[in-house]
Amino acid sequence: MKSTQSLLSKLQAPVKGCLQQGLMEGLRSFSARALGSQTEVGLSILAEAANLPSTSNTAGVQLQQTRGMGYAYARKTADKDYVHTAHTLAFGQTQLTDYIIKTVPKFVKMAVVGPGQSTLLYQEPTIYTTPDSLLPLMTFLRDHVQTQFKCLIDITAVDFPERAARFEVVYHLLSPRWNNRIRVKVCVDEVTPVPSIWKIFNTANWFERETWDMFGVFFSGHPDLRRILSDYGFTGHPLRKDFPLSGYTEVRYDYGKKRVVSEPLELTQEFRYFDFNSPWETLNR
């Protein structure tokens, strides 16, 4: 009898989670096979477990059910793609964003979902955060069982010179497990550093070097923050809106010195702004 009671106590914890998924009939058959003559005792314990309060809220249970449906949809054949597309669209519009906001509210500054941030078909949510909350938010998105954004797709930036925090550093993440995408943004000015996430995602190493090279956004904690696309002695950051199209310097081969030299830019004529309709007519500045 003691062995039976110990077995029932071990089964009681996983039984609670199974009851939340609506598997009562499967539990009855499992109890009959596992407990034998003690089936009635097992069913009484199951009933008690069903009456116990659940530790997860309604949003968590709903998310788990939706995740299960999404995983089932992903395993369907190619002729059922429309089911998975509809599920991804509905999930990205509301449920994923709401779950992240309710789970880690102190890491989320603002959340945006809609065609203004993504395509009309796949409306990936956009999470705005601060530099101080970037590392814990990225760790949560990567490791949490309901998110599992294990893949860092890209890191880039957008320049808005008219804003005080002119740069939006953009992170694109992919969850291969749940087939979801999310976008994380951090707004900083020219002198505010952004924490490097290369310890969380190894692929961030070169992405952050590229963003530093093109926009001049400094990533604190980066092991080797050097230019990656332009020359080491290059002046300025080419993708800033205030960077001139002609640049500041020019590179040419000096036959007298027998090497490539970099010198200040000298234009033979004034730089002209051309109209798309007629390239021979200049526009007023």
At the top level of CATH, which class does the domain 92-226 belong to?
Answer: alpha beta
Most confident segment among 63-67, 99-103, 264-268 = 99-103
Helix (H, G, I), strand (E, B) or coil at 182: strand
Mean pLDDT, residues 75-103 taken together: 63
Q: How many CA atoms lie within 13 A of 3 on its CB side?
A: 2
What is the per-residue pLDDT for 279? 57
pTM of the model: 0.64
**What's the mean pLDDT when you consider all of the chain?**
74
Report d(CA 3, CA 39) in Å as an integer: 14
Instruction: Say if residues 239 and 215 touch (Cβ distance below 8 Å).
Output: yes
Domain coordinates in residue numbering, the chain: 92-226
Model confidence band, residue 17 (pLDDT cutoffs 50, 70, 90): very low
Report d(CA 250, CA 247) in Å as an integer: 8
Mean pLDDT, residues 19-46 taken together: 49
Report d(CA 141, CA 172) in Å as an integer: 12
What is the per-residue pLDDT for 58? 58
- pLDDT surpassing 50 at residue 194: yes
> Tell me, what amino acid is at 200?
I
What tens digit of pLDDT does each residue of 223-254 get?
999 999 988 778 889 999 988 877 777 778 88
Mean pLDDT, residues 202-214 taken together: 95
Q: Which residues contact 281 (CB under 8 A, 6 or more apart)?
A: 274, 275
Q: Which residues contact 168 (CB under 8 A, 6 or more apart)?
A: 157, 158, 160, 185, 186, 187
- pLDDT surpassing 60 at residue 46: no
The residue with greater pLDDT, 1 or 241, is 241
Report d(CA 285, CA 273) in Å as an integer: 8
What is the per-residue pLDDT for 181? 86
- pLDDT surpassing 50 at residue 197: yes
What is the per-residue pLDDT for 115? 60
What percent of the chain stands above pLDDT 70?
Answer: 56
Least confident of 7-11, 48-52, 93-97: 48-52
Instruction: Say if residues 66 and 60 touch (Cβ distance below 8 Å).
Output: no
What is the per-residue pLDDT for 206? 95
What tens digit of pLDDT does each residue of 118-161 get?
665 556 789 999 999 999 999 999 999 888 999 999 999 999 99
What is the per-residue pLDDT for 83? 44
Report d(CA 51, CA 12) in Å as an integer: 12
What tens digit of pLDDT does each residue of 258-273 get?
888 877 776 666 666 6
What tens digit of pLDDT does each residue of 151-188 get?
999 999 999 999 999 999 999 999 888 888 899 999 99
What is the per-residue pLDDT for 99? 87
